[in-house]
Amino acid sequence: MQPLDLTDMRLLLAMAKDPRRTVVALAQRLGLSRNTVQARMAQLEKKSVFLSFERRINTVSLGYPLTAFIHVHVQQQKLAAITGSIAAIPEVIEAFGVTGQADILVRVVAVDAEDLFRINGKVLACDGVERCDTSLAMGELVPFRVEPLLERGPLPPT
């Protein structure tokens, strides 16, 4: 992926600060033409810089007030199938392959402790899962953010 330049970073920072701003408003704010902003946004989208809109939906508003992290220990040769099985569980909102004691870190949401127990059971039931360790999130201390990175600016080429 080609690195982002200063104009891209300025555009992304403006969008991060006010995501509802129109292309025309972004152009005015940044001192660029509307066509330049439109073209840059199209390039950024093509480079998969933008994440899905659903990242901005609060799961509490959907009726899932509990968030938990399930550390999943798996049989490595079954990792692809396990990933597919975990992805089929609706309450799984993210999953990462990780290093360390566990193999997969799964972020889930639940209605209550009983629901979390049910979800944990679904993960454990996936063929190739050896065991799970579950941690209940007590509160989000640093929410997902990229603004500090954008404010720092583009990294020098390596």
| Residue-wise pLDDT tens digits, 77-114 | 999 999 999 999 999 999 999 999 999 999 999 999 99
For the chain, give the mean pLDDT: 94
Q: What is the domain class of 60-137 according to CATH?
A: alpha beta
Q: What is the domain class of 6-50 according to CATH?
A: mainly alpha
The model's pTM: 0.84
Q: Which residues contact 42 (CB under 8 A, 6 or more apart)?
A: none
Residues of each domain in the chain carrying CATH 1.10.10.10: 6-50
Residues of each domain in the chain carrying CATH 3.30.70.920: 60-137
| Closest among 93, 117, 121 to 105, alpha carbons compared | 93
